[in-house]
Structure 1
Amino acid sequence: MDIPRIFNITESAHRIHNPYTPEKLATLGAALRLKPEDRVLDLGSGSGEMLCTWARDYGITGTGVDMSQLFFEQAKLRANELEVADKIHFIHDDAAGYIAAEKVDVAACVGATWIGGGVTGTIELLAKSLRPGGIILIGEPYWLQLPPTETIAKGCLANTIADFLTLPELVASFGELNYDVVEMVLADQDSWDRYEAAKWLTMRRWLEANPDDDFAKEVRDQLTTEPKRYVTYSRDYLGWGVFALMAR
Protein backbone atom coordinates (compact mmCIF):
# COMPACT_ATOMS: atom_id res chain seq x y z
CA MET A 1 0.00 0.00 0.00
CA ASP A 2 1.45 3.34 -1.04
CA ILE A 3 0.69 6.60 -2.82
CA PRO A 4 1.81 7.25 -6.44
CA ARG A 5 5.57 7.42 -6.66
CA ILE A 6 5.62 10.97 -8.02
CA PHE A 7 4.27 12.31 -4.70
CA ASN A 8 6.80 10.32 -2.70
CA ILE A 9 9.51 11.96 -4.80
CA THR A 10 8.28 15.55 -5.08
CA GLU A 11 7.29 15.84 -1.41
CA SER A 12 10.01 13.67 0.11
CA ALA A 13 11.66 16.73 1.70
CA HIS A 14 8.39 18.22 2.95
CA ARG A 15 7.44 18.05 6.60
CA ILE A 16 4.03 19.58 5.86
CA HIS A 17 2.25 18.19 2.80
CA ASN A 18 -0.04 21.11 2.15
CA PRO A 19 0.37 24.90 1.70
CA TYR A 20 1.06 25.59 5.36
CA THR A 21 4.21 26.86 7.07
CA PRO A 22 5.24 25.74 10.57
CA GLU A 23 3.94 29.11 11.79
CA LYS A 24 0.51 28.44 10.26
CA LEU A 25 0.42 25.02 11.89
CA ALA A 26 1.29 26.56 15.25
CA THR A 27 -1.37 29.24 14.75
CA LEU A 28 -3.96 26.53 14.11
CA GLY A 29 -3.01 24.65 17.26
CA ALA A 30 -3.24 27.82 19.34
CA ALA A 31 -6.56 28.75 17.74
CA LEU A 32 -8.05 25.41 18.78
CA ARG A 33 -7.03 26.06 22.41
CA LEU A 34 -5.56 22.58 22.70
CA LYS A 35 -5.03 21.10 26.16
CA PRO A 36 -2.72 18.30 27.36
CA GLU A 37 -5.60 15.88 27.85
CA ASP A 38 -6.90 16.30 24.28
CA ARG A 39 -6.81 13.33 21.90
CA VAL A 40 -6.38 14.05 18.19
CA LEU A 41 -6.99 11.78 15.19
CA ASP A 42 -5.37 12.78 11.88
CA LEU A 43 -6.48 10.89 8.77
CA GLY A 44 -3.98 11.36 5.96
CA SER A 45 -1.34 12.44 8.47
CA GLY A 46 1.58 12.59 6.01
CA SER A 47 4.93 13.01 7.74
CA GLY A 48 3.25 13.66 11.08
CA GLU A 49 4.26 17.28 11.60
CA MET A 50 0.89 18.42 12.91
CA LEU A 51 0.55 15.70 15.54
CA CYS A 52 4.21 15.77 16.57
CA THR A 53 4.49 19.53 17.02
CA TRP A 54 1.16 19.74 18.81
CA ALA A 55 2.26 16.97 21.16
CA ARG A 56 5.46 18.91 21.85
CA ASP A 57 3.80 22.31 22.21
CA TYR A 58 0.42 21.46 23.76
CA GLY A 59 0.89 18.01 25.26
CA ILE A 60 -1.84 16.34 23.20
CA THR A 61 -1.89 12.63 22.40
CA GLY A 62 -2.88 11.34 19.01
CA THR A 63 -3.01 8.86 16.17
CA GLY A 64 -2.10 9.46 12.55
CA VAL A 65 -3.02 7.24 9.61
CA ASP A 66 -1.38 7.50 6.19
CA MET A 67 -0.93 5.15 3.25
CA SER A 68 2.50 6.46 2.15
CA GLN A 69 5.22 4.15 3.41
CA LEU A 70 7.79 6.93 3.12
CA PHE A 71 5.73 9.52 5.00
CA PHE A 72 4.80 6.96 7.65
CA GLU A 73 8.48 6.26 8.31
CA GLN A 74 9.27 9.97 8.34
CA ALA A 75 6.46 10.55 10.87
CA LYS A 76 7.90 7.98 13.25
CA LEU A 77 11.34 9.57 12.94
CA ARG A 78 9.86 13.01 13.63
CA ALA A 79 8.09 11.74 16.75
CA ASN A 80 11.39 10.39 18.04
CA GLU A 81 13.21 13.59 17.12
CA LEU A 82 10.74 15.73 19.08
CA GLU A 83 10.63 13.16 21.92
CA VAL A 84 6.87 12.62 21.64
CA ALA A 85 6.84 8.99 20.50
CA ASP A 86 5.13 8.08 23.77
CA LYS A 87 2.26 10.43 22.90
CA ILE A 88 1.75 9.90 19.17
CA HIS A 89 1.05 6.64 17.33
CA PHE A 90 1.30 6.33 13.54
CA ILE A 91 -0.40 3.67 11.42
CA HIS A 92 0.55 2.78 7.85
CA ASP A 93 -2.85 2.15 6.30
CA ASP A 94 -5.51 3.58 4.04
CA ALA A 95 -7.28 6.27 6.09
CA ALA A 96 -10.52 5.75 4.16
CA GLY A 97 -13.00 4.17 6.55
CA TYR A 98 -10.72 4.41 9.60
CA ILE A 99 -12.62 4.87 12.89
CA ALA A 100 -10.82 5.39 16.19
CA ALA A 101 -11.37 2.75 18.87
CA GLU A 102 -11.68 5.52 21.47
CA LYS A 103 -13.52 8.78 20.81
CA VAL A 104 -11.27 11.79 20.22
CA ASP A 105 -11.49 15.50 20.96
CA VAL A 106 -10.29 16.58 17.52
CA ALA A 107 -10.79 14.54 14.33
CA ALA A 108 -8.88 15.92 11.36
CA CYS A 109 -8.46 15.38 7.65
CA VAL A 110 -6.19 18.17 6.48
CA GLY A 111 -5.96 18.08 2.71
CA ALA A 112 -7.06 14.52 1.92
CA THR A 113 -10.86 14.64 1.70
CA TRP A 114 -10.71 12.14 -1.14
CA ILE A 115 -10.69 9.50 1.65
CA GLY A 116 -14.41 10.14 2.15
CA GLY A 117 -15.25 10.87 -1.47
CA GLY A 118 -15.26 14.60 -0.78
CA VAL A 119 -15.91 17.03 2.06
CA THR A 120 -19.34 15.70 3.02
CA GLY A 121 -18.27 12.06 3.20
CA THR A 122 -15.08 12.93 5.06
CA ILE A 123 -16.98 14.91 7.69
CA GLU A 124 -19.32 11.95 8.14
CA LEU A 125 -16.32 9.64 8.56
CA LEU A 126 -14.56 11.90 11.06
CA ALA A 127 -17.76 12.31 13.09
CA LYS A 128 -17.73 8.57 13.83
CA SER A 129 -14.51 9.01 15.84
CA LEU A 130 -15.48 12.25 17.57
CA ARG A 131 -16.73 12.70 21.11
CA PRO A 132 -19.84 14.85 21.64
CA GLY A 133 -18.80 18.49 21.54
CA GLY A 134 -15.52 17.72 19.76
CA ILE A 135 -14.02 19.55 16.80
CA ILE A 136 -13.66 18.37 13.21
CA LEU A 137 -10.83 19.83 11.12
CA ILE A 138 -11.16 19.90 7.35
CA GLY A 139 -8.37 21.15 5.08
CA GLU A 140 -9.69 21.94 1.63
CA PRO A 141 -8.90 24.01 -1.49
CA TYR A 142 -11.23 26.76 -2.67
CA TRP A 143 -11.28 29.27 -5.50
CA LEU A 144 -9.75 32.64 -4.63
CA GLN A 145 -11.51 33.83 -7.76
CA LEU A 146 -13.70 31.76 -10.03
CA PRO A 147 -11.74 30.64 -13.10
CA PRO A 148 -13.29 32.13 -16.24
CA THR A 149 -12.58 28.98 -18.27
CA GLU A 150 -12.25 25.26 -17.73
CA THR A 151 -8.72 25.50 -19.16
CA ILE A 152 -7.67 27.67 -16.24
CA ALA A 153 -9.32 25.27 -13.80
CA LYS A 154 -7.35 22.40 -15.30
CA GLY A 155 -4.22 24.53 -15.00
CA CYS A 156 -4.94 24.54 -11.25
CA LEU A 157 -5.00 20.70 -11.40
CA ALA A 158 -8.78 20.59 -11.01
CA ASN A 159 -10.82 18.43 -13.35
CA THR A 160 -13.49 21.11 -13.71
CA ILE A 161 -14.45 24.45 -12.16
CA ALA A 162 -17.09 22.55 -10.18
CA ASP A 163 -14.40 20.61 -8.27
CA PHE A 164 -13.97 23.49 -5.80
CA LEU A 165 -16.17 26.16 -4.25
CA THR A 166 -15.38 29.78 -3.56
CA LEU A 167 -14.54 30.57 0.07
CA PRO A 168 -18.03 31.95 0.86
CA GLU A 169 -19.61 28.91 -0.77
CA LEU A 170 -17.34 26.51 1.12
CA VAL A 171 -18.07 28.14 4.48
CA ALA A 172 -21.80 28.14 3.68
CA SER A 173 -21.64 24.45 2.77
CA PHE A 174 -20.53 23.55 6.29
CA GLY A 175 -23.61 25.27 7.66
CA GLU A 176 -25.78 23.31 5.24
CA LEU A 177 -24.34 20.15 6.82
CA ASN A 178 -25.46 21.49 10.23
CA TYR A 179 -22.00 22.45 11.45
CA ASP A 180 -20.79 25.74 12.90
CA VAL A 181 -17.48 27.06 11.59
CA VAL A 182 -15.74 27.94 14.87
CA GLU A 183 -12.24 28.73 13.55
CA MET A 184 -10.24 28.85 10.35
CA VAL A 185 -6.60 29.37 9.40
CA LEU A 186 -6.02 30.05 5.72
CA ALA A 187 -2.94 29.59 3.58
CA ASP A 188 -1.44 32.70 2.02
CA GLN A 189 0.70 33.30 -1.03
CA ASP A 190 3.93 32.75 0.88
CA SER A 191 2.82 29.43 2.37
CA TRP A 192 1.65 28.30 -1.09
CA ASP A 193 5.06 29.25 -2.51
CA ARG A 194 6.84 27.29 0.18
CA TYR A 195 4.73 24.20 -0.51
CA GLU A 196 5.02 24.29 -4.30
CA ALA A 197 8.50 25.72 -4.89
CA ALA A 198 10.14 23.31 -2.43
CA LYS A 199 9.13 20.48 -4.76
CA TRP A 200 11.24 21.88 -7.57
CA LEU A 201 14.56 21.68 -5.76
CA THR A 202 13.63 18.22 -4.49
CA MET A 203 12.94 17.06 -8.06
CA ARG A 204 16.19 18.56 -9.34
CA ARG A 205 18.24 16.88 -6.60
CA TRP A 206 16.45 13.58 -7.25
CA LEU A 207 17.22 13.79 -10.97
CA GLU A 208 20.89 14.47 -10.26
CA ALA A 209 21.03 11.43 -7.98
CA ASN A 210 18.95 9.12 -10.22
CA PRO A 211 19.71 9.98 -13.87
CA ASP A 212 19.14 6.42 -15.12
CA ASP A 213 15.96 5.69 -13.16
CA ASP A 214 13.00 4.56 -15.28
CA PHE A 215 10.97 7.32 -13.61
CA ALA A 216 13.45 10.09 -14.48
CA LYS A 217 11.58 11.24 -17.62
CA GLU A 218 8.35 11.80 -15.69
CA VAL A 219 10.16 13.75 -12.98
CA ARG A 220 12.05 15.79 -15.61
CA ASP A 221 8.81 16.59 -17.44
CA GLN A 222 7.17 17.73 -14.22
CA LEU A 223 10.12 19.89 -13.18
CA THR A 224 10.11 21.50 -16.64
CA THR A 225 6.43 22.43 -16.56
CA GLU A 226 5.46 22.90 -12.89
CA PRO A 227 7.02 26.30 -12.11
CA LYS A 228 5.26 27.98 -15.05
CA ARG A 229 1.98 26.15 -14.41
CA TYR A 230 1.96 27.18 -10.76
CA VAL A 231 2.68 30.88 -11.30
CA THR A 232 0.31 31.06 -14.28
CA TYR A 233 -2.67 29.37 -12.66
CA SER A 234 -2.70 28.09 -9.07
CA ARG A 235 -0.96 31.07 -7.49
CA ASP A 236 -3.73 33.49 -8.48
CA TYR A 237 -6.77 31.25 -8.47
CA LEU A 238 -6.44 28.59 -5.78
CA GLY A 239 -6.73 29.05 -2.02
CA TRP A 240 -6.54 26.54 0.79
CA GLY A 241 -7.46 26.51 4.44
CA VAL A 242 -8.26 24.47 7.50
CA PHE A 243 -11.73 24.91 8.94
CA ALA A 244 -12.74 23.92 12.48
CA LEU A 245 -16.29 22.63 12.74
CA MET A 246 -18.62 21.75 15.60
CA ALA A 247 -21.95 20.02 15.17
CA ARG A 248 -24.99 22.16 15.95
Structure 2
Amino acid sequence: MISSDAPLPPRLGSLTFHGPLSEERAESLVRRIAAAGPADVLDIGCGWGELLLRVLDAVPGAKGIGIDINAEDLARGRALAAERGLADRSVFVEESARGTGRGPVDAILCLGSSQALCDPELPHDPAEALRELRRLARPGGLVVLGEGFWERTPTETELAGMWPGATTGDHLPLGGLVDLAIEAGFRPAWIETAGRDEWEAFESGYRYDTELWLAAYPDHPLAAETRERVDRQRSSWLNGYRNVLGMAYLTLVATA
Protein backbone atom coordinates (compact mmCIF):
# COMPACT_ATOMS: atom_id res chain seq x y z
CA MET A 1 0.00 0.00 0.00
CA ILE A 2 1.29 3.47 -0.92
CA SER A 3 1.89 5.81 2.01
CA SER A 4 -0.32 8.87 2.19
CA ASP A 5 2.80 11.01 2.29
CA ALA A 6 4.19 9.63 -0.99
CA PRO A 7 5.06 12.50 -3.35
CA LEU A 8 2.59 13.62 -5.97
CA PRO A 9 3.44 13.56 -9.69
CA PRO A 10 5.91 16.38 -10.49
CA ARG A 11 5.18 19.02 -13.10
CA LEU A 12 7.63 20.34 -15.72
CA GLY A 13 10.60 20.36 -13.36
CA SER A 14 13.03 19.27 -16.07
CA LEU A 15 12.13 22.08 -18.47
CA THR A 16 14.00 25.37 -18.66
CA PHE A 17 11.58 26.74 -21.26
CA HIS A 18 7.99 25.64 -21.81
CA GLY A 19 8.57 24.97 -25.51
CA PRO A 20 11.09 23.58 -28.04
CA LEU A 21 13.71 26.26 -27.38
CA SER A 22 17.42 25.53 -26.99
CA GLU A 23 19.87 27.48 -24.87
CA GLU A 24 21.65 28.65 -28.02
CA ARG A 25 18.49 29.99 -29.63
CA ALA A 26 17.38 31.62 -26.39
CA GLU A 27 20.73 33.41 -26.12
CA SER A 28 20.43 34.78 -29.65
CA LEU A 29 16.86 35.96 -29.01
CA VAL A 30 17.93 37.71 -25.82
CA ARG A 31 20.88 39.40 -27.58
CA ARG A 32 18.59 40.63 -30.35
CA ILE A 33 16.09 42.09 -27.89
CA ALA A 34 18.79 43.57 -25.66
CA ALA A 35 20.38 45.34 -28.62
CA ALA A 36 17.17 47.36 -28.98
CA GLY A 37 17.44 48.52 -25.36
CA PRO A 38 13.77 48.17 -24.34
CA ALA A 39 12.59 50.04 -21.27
CA ASP A 40 9.61 47.75 -20.70
CA VAL A 41 8.93 44.14 -21.64
CA LEU A 42 5.61 42.28 -21.63
CA ASP A 43 5.54 38.47 -21.58
CA ILE A 44 2.15 37.07 -22.64
CA GLY A 45 1.42 33.58 -21.36
CA CYS A 46 4.72 33.83 -19.53
CA GLY A 47 4.62 30.60 -17.51
CA TRP A 48 7.57 30.99 -15.17
CA GLY A 49 9.06 33.72 -17.37
CA GLU A 50 12.51 32.27 -18.00
CA LEU A 51 13.10 34.24 -21.20
CA LEU A 52 11.64 37.41 -19.67
CA LEU A 53 14.07 37.20 -16.75
CA ARG A 54 16.99 36.66 -19.11
CA VAL A 55 16.02 39.76 -21.08
CA LEU A 56 15.80 41.82 -17.88
CA ASP A 57 19.18 40.52 -16.78
CA ALA A 58 20.65 41.56 -20.15
CA VAL A 59 19.06 45.04 -20.14
CA PRO A 60 19.87 46.84 -16.87
CA GLY A 61 17.03 49.11 -15.87
CA ALA A 62 14.39 47.43 -18.00
CA LYS A 63 11.18 46.39 -16.27
CA GLY A 64 9.03 43.41 -17.14
CA ILE A 65 5.52 42.14 -16.63
CA GLY A 66 4.59 38.50 -17.08
CA ILE A 67 0.93 37.53 -17.33
CA ASP A 68 -0.47 34.02 -17.16
CA ILE A 69 -3.40 32.16 -15.66
CA ASN A 70 -1.35 29.36 -14.05
CA ALA A 71 -0.66 30.31 -10.44
CA GLU A 72 1.90 27.53 -9.94
CA ASP A 73 4.02 28.70 -12.88
CA LEU A 74 3.78 32.31 -11.74
CA ALA A 75 4.98 31.38 -8.26
CA ARG A 76 7.95 29.62 -9.84
CA GLY A 77 8.67 32.79 -11.84
CA ARG A 78 8.60 34.98 -8.74
CA ALA A 79 10.98 32.62 -6.97
CA LEU A 80 13.39 32.66 -9.92
CA ALA A 81 13.24 36.46 -10.05
CA ALA A 82 14.11 36.67 -6.36
CA GLU A 83 17.02 34.23 -6.78
CA ARG A 84 18.47 36.34 -9.60
CA GLY A 85 18.00 39.71 -7.96
CA LEU A 86 15.30 40.74 -10.42
CA ALA A 87 12.28 40.86 -8.13
CA ASP A 88 12.29 44.66 -8.08
CA ARG A 89 12.14 44.84 -11.89
CA SER A 90 9.62 42.09 -12.62
CA VAL A 91 5.98 41.50 -11.85
CA PHE A 92 4.14 38.22 -12.40
CA VAL A 93 0.37 38.70 -12.63
CA GLU A 94 -2.35 36.05 -12.68
CA GLU A 95 -4.80 37.34 -15.28
CA SER A 96 -6.11 36.77 -18.78
CA ALA A 97 -4.28 38.38 -21.68
CA ARG A 98 -7.49 38.76 -23.68
CA GLY A 99 -7.94 42.49 -24.36
CA THR A 100 -5.14 43.37 -21.95
CA GLY A 101 -4.38 47.02 -21.34
CA ARG A 102 -0.75 46.39 -20.41
CA GLY A 103 0.63 48.17 -23.45
CA PRO A 104 2.06 49.75 -25.42
CA VAL A 105 5.55 48.51 -24.57
CA ASP A 106 8.96 48.36 -26.23
CA ALA A 107 9.23 44.57 -26.38
CA ILE A 108 6.79 41.67 -26.22
CA LEU A 109 7.40 37.96 -25.73
CA CYS A 110 4.65 35.59 -26.81
CA LEU A 111 6.06 32.09 -27.02
CA GLY A 112 3.54 29.38 -27.80
CA SER A 113 0.76 31.36 -26.15
CA SER A 114 -0.89 33.52 -28.82
CA GLN A 115 -4.16 31.71 -28.11
CA ALA A 116 -4.30 33.76 -24.90
CA LEU A 117 -5.00 36.84 -27.05
CA CYS A 118 -7.93 35.29 -28.93
CA ASP A 119 -11.58 34.57 -28.19
CA PRO A 120 -11.58 31.23 -26.33
CA GLU A 121 -15.01 30.40 -27.74
CA LEU A 122 -13.69 30.47 -31.33
CA PRO A 123 -10.96 28.53 -33.17
CA HIS A 124 -7.50 29.97 -32.67
CA ASP A 125 -6.93 32.86 -35.08
CA PRO A 126 -3.27 33.87 -35.55
CA ALA A 127 -4.37 36.95 -37.51
CA GLU A 128 -6.30 38.22 -34.49
CA ALA A 129 -3.36 37.44 -32.21
CA LEU A 130 -0.99 39.38 -34.45
CA ARG A 131 -3.31 42.38 -34.55
CA GLU A 132 -3.40 42.34 -30.76
CA LEU A 133 0.39 42.13 -30.57
CA ARG A 134 0.65 45.12 -32.89
CA ARG A 135 -1.76 47.05 -30.67
CA LEU A 136 0.43 46.33 -27.65
CA ALA A 137 3.75 47.22 -29.30
CA ARG A 138 5.07 50.76 -29.69
CA PRO A 139 6.17 51.76 -33.19
CA GLY A 140 9.65 50.34 -33.65
CA GLY A 141 9.11 47.88 -30.81
CA LEU A 142 10.09 44.24 -31.02
CA VAL A 143 7.81 41.24 -30.73
CA VAL A 144 9.21 37.73 -30.41
CA LEU A 145 6.43 35.37 -31.43
CA GLY A 146 6.71 31.61 -31.03
CA GLU A 147 3.94 30.11 -33.15
CA GLY A 148 3.14 26.67 -34.47
CA PHE A 149 2.97 26.04 -38.21
CA TRP A 150 2.69 23.04 -40.50
CA GLU A 151 6.01 21.84 -41.86
CA ARG A 152 3.87 20.06 -44.44
CA THR A 153 0.19 19.23 -44.76
CA PRO A 154 -0.56 16.39 -42.32
CA THR A 155 -2.19 13.21 -43.54
CA GLU A 156 -5.52 12.01 -42.20
CA THR A 157 -3.71 9.31 -40.22
CA GLU A 158 -1.41 11.88 -38.65
CA LEU A 159 -4.32 14.18 -37.79
CA ALA A 160 -6.11 11.27 -36.13
CA GLY A 161 -3.05 10.73 -33.94
CA MET A 162 -2.83 14.35 -32.76
CA TRP A 163 -5.03 16.26 -30.31
CA PRO A 164 -8.80 15.63 -30.37
CA GLY A 165 -10.48 17.20 -33.39
CA ALA A 166 -7.21 18.18 -35.11
CA THR A 167 -7.66 19.55 -38.64
CA THR A 168 -5.39 21.01 -41.30
CA GLY A 169 -6.93 24.39 -40.49
CA ASP A 170 -5.41 24.41 -37.00
CA HIS A 171 -2.17 25.92 -38.32
CA LEU A 172 -0.76 27.73 -41.34
CA PRO A 173 2.36 27.03 -43.37
CA LEU A 174 5.30 29.24 -42.40
CA GLY A 175 4.88 31.56 -45.39
CA GLY A 176 1.24 32.18 -44.57
CA LEU A 177 2.09 32.97 -40.96
CA VAL A 178 4.74 35.53 -41.95
CA ASP A 179 2.33 37.11 -44.45
CA LEU A 180 -0.18 37.61 -41.63
CA ALA A 181 2.48 39.32 -39.52
CA ILE A 182 3.19 41.78 -42.32
CA GLU A 183 -0.54 42.44 -42.81
CA ALA A 184 -0.85 43.16 -39.07
CA GLY A 185 1.77 45.93 -39.26
CA PHE A 186 5.10 44.21 -38.67
CA ARG A 187 8.29 43.65 -40.59
CA PRO A 188 9.79 40.18 -40.08
CA ALA A 189 13.32 41.05 -38.98
CA TRP A 190 14.33 37.47 -38.21
CA ILE A 191 12.70 34.14 -39.10
CA GLU A 192 13.86 30.88 -37.53
CA THR A 193 12.31 27.54 -36.65
CA ALA A 194 12.87 24.93 -33.94
CA GLY A 195 15.01 21.96 -34.96
CA ARG A 196 14.40 18.28 -34.27
CA ASP A 197 16.78 18.29 -31.29
CA GLU A 198 14.85 21.13 -29.69
CA TRP A 199 11.55 19.31 -30.17
CA GLU A 200 12.90 16.05 -28.77
CA ALA A 201 14.42 17.77 -25.74
CA PHE A 202 11.13 19.54 -25.05
CA GLU A 203 8.86 16.55 -25.57
CA SER A 204 11.05 14.24 -23.47
CA GLY A 205 11.65 16.87 -20.80
CA TYR A 206 7.91 17.57 -20.61
CA ARG A 207 7.28 14.03 -19.36
CA TYR A 208 10.64 13.06 -17.84
CA ASP A 209 9.94 13.66 -14.14
CA THR A 210 6.49 12.14 -14.41
CA GLU A 211 7.85 9.02 -16.12
CA LEU A 212 10.35 8.56 -13.28
CA TRP A 213 7.53 9.02 -10.79
CA LEU A 214 5.36 6.41 -12.54
CA ALA A 215 8.23 3.93 -12.47
CA ALA A 216 8.78 4.53 -8.74
CA TYR A 217 5.11 4.59 -7.68
CA PRO A 218 3.17 2.32 -10.09
CA ASP A 219 0.48 1.61 -7.47
CA HIS A 220 -0.04 5.20 -6.30
CA PRO A 221 -3.75 6.17 -6.25
CA LEU A 222 -3.05 8.73 -8.97
CA ALA A 223 -0.84 6.47 -11.08
CA ALA A 224 -3.54 5.13 -13.42
CA GLU A 225 -4.89 8.51 -14.50
CA THR A 226 -1.39 9.98 -14.70
CA ARG A 227 -0.17 7.06 -16.83
CA GLU A 228 -3.13 7.39 -19.18
CA ARG A 229 -2.54 11.13 -19.61
CA VAL A 230 1.20 10.81 -20.21
CA ASP A 231 0.79 7.90 -22.63
CA ARG A 232 -1.78 9.91 -24.58
CA GLN A 233 0.52 12.95 -24.73
CA ARG A 234 3.47 10.88 -25.93
CA SER A 235 1.38 9.10 -28.56
CA SER A 236 0.04 12.39 -29.95
CA TRP A 237 3.64 13.45 -30.56
CA LEU A 238 5.13 10.21 -31.87
CA ASN A 239 2.10 9.09 -33.89
CA GLY A 240 0.75 12.50 -34.82
CA TYR A 241 2.62 15.81 -35.05
CA ARG A 242 6.27 14.70 -34.89
CA ASN A 243 8.10 16.17 -37.93
CA VAL A 244 4.78 17.68 -39.08
CA LEU A 245 4.13 20.50 -36.61
CA GLY A 246 6.86 23.13 -36.53
CA MET A 247 7.55 26.01 -34.18
CA ALA A 248 8.49 29.36 -35.72
CA TYR A 249 10.32 32.03 -33.76
CA LEU A 250 9.61 35.34 -35.47
CA THR A 251 11.34 38.54 -34.38
CA LEU A 252 8.96 41.20 -35.59
CA VAL A 253 9.38 44.98 -35.69
CA ALA A 254 6.26 47.13 -35.34
CA THR A 255 6.03 49.61 -38.22
CA ALA A 256 5.44 53.28 -37.61
**Same fold flag (TM > 0.5):** yes
SS in structure 1 at match of 2:243: helix
Alignment of 1:208-219 (within 5 A): 208=216, 211-214=219-222, 216-219=223-226
- Tell me the SS of whatever aligns to 2:35: coil
| Equivalent residue number for residue 121 of structure 1 | 128
* C-alpha separation in 1, matches of 2:134 and 2:75: 27
Task: Calculate the aligned-residue CA RMSD, in Å.
Answer: 2.4
Inter-partner Cα distance in structure 1 for 2:221 and 2:40: 42
Change (3 A) 1:57 1:32: closer
State the TM-score, normalizing by the size of structure 2: 0.82
Query: Structure 2: which 5+ runs fail to align?
Result: 1-8, 119-124
Match of 1:152 among 137, 147, 158: 158
Residues 142-161 of structure 1 deviation map (CA, whole Å, 9 limit, x = unaligned): 11111132x31243437211
Q: Which moved more, 1:117-126 or 1:81-90?
A: 117-126
Q: CA deviation at 1:227?
A: 3.6
CA distance in 2, matches of 1:69, 1:206: 23
Q: Is the 8 A contact 1:48 1:75 kept in 2?
A: yes
Percent identity, aligned pairs only?
24
Structure 2 CA distance for partners of 1:229 and 1:131, relative to 1, 3 Å: closer
Counterpart of 2:121 in structure 1 is: none
Cα distance in 2 between the residues matched to 1:153 and 1:146: 10
Q: What CA distance in whole angstroms lies between the structure 2 residues aligned with 1:144 and 1:79? A: 36
**C-alpha separation between the residues in 2 aligned to 1:41 and 1:178?**
18
* Aligned-partner Cα distance in 1 for 2:68–2:126: 18
Letter in 1 for 2:63: T
Please tell me whether residue 39 in structure 1 is matched to residue 40 in structure 2.
yes
2:100 aligned residue = 98
Distance 1:11 1:154, change over 3 A: farther
CA shift in 2, pair 1:152/1:88, >3 Å: same
2:209 to 195, 202, 209: 202
Which range is displaced more, 78-87 or 173-182?
173-182
Give 2:158's aligned amino acid: I
Counterparts of 2:11 and 2:174 in 1: how far apart (Å)? 28
2:144 pairs, out of 137, 149, 162, with 137
| TM-fit CA distance, 1:41 | 0.3
CA drift of 1:204 comes to 1.9
The partner residue of 1:235 within 211, 218, 242 is 242
Residue in 1 aligned with 2:5?
A: none
Q: 1:45 to 1:22 in 2, by over 3 A?
A: same
- C-alpha deviation, 1:56, in angstroms: 1.6
Deviation sequence 1:112-164 (CA, Å, 0-9, x none): 11112232222233333322221223211011111132x31243437211111
Change (3 A) 1:104 1:204: same
1:189 and 1:197 mapped to 2: Cα distance? Answer: 12
After superposition, the C-alpha distances for 1:42-99 in whole angstroms (9 at most, x for unaligned) are 1100111011111123333211001111100110111112221122211122222222
Corresponding residue of 2:172: 165
Q: 1:178 to 1:113 in 2, by over 3 A?
A: same
Distance apart, 1:35 and its partner CA? 4.8
SS of corresponding position for 1:128 = helix
Cα 1:131–1:210 shift into 2, 3 Å: farther
- Offset at residue 105 of structure 1 (A): 0.4
* Deviation per residue, 1:194-230 (Å, 9 max, x gap): 111012222223434695344x323201333444442
Q: Distance in 2 between matches of 1:62 and 1:218?
A: 38
Cα gap change, 1:9 to 1:160, in 2 (>3 Å)? farther
| Aligned residue identity for 2:76 | Q
Structure 1 letter corresponding to 2:153: L
Q: Secondary structure at the match of 1:135?
A: strand
The residue aligned with 1:74 is: 76
- Distance in 2, matches of 1:146 and 1:31, equals 32
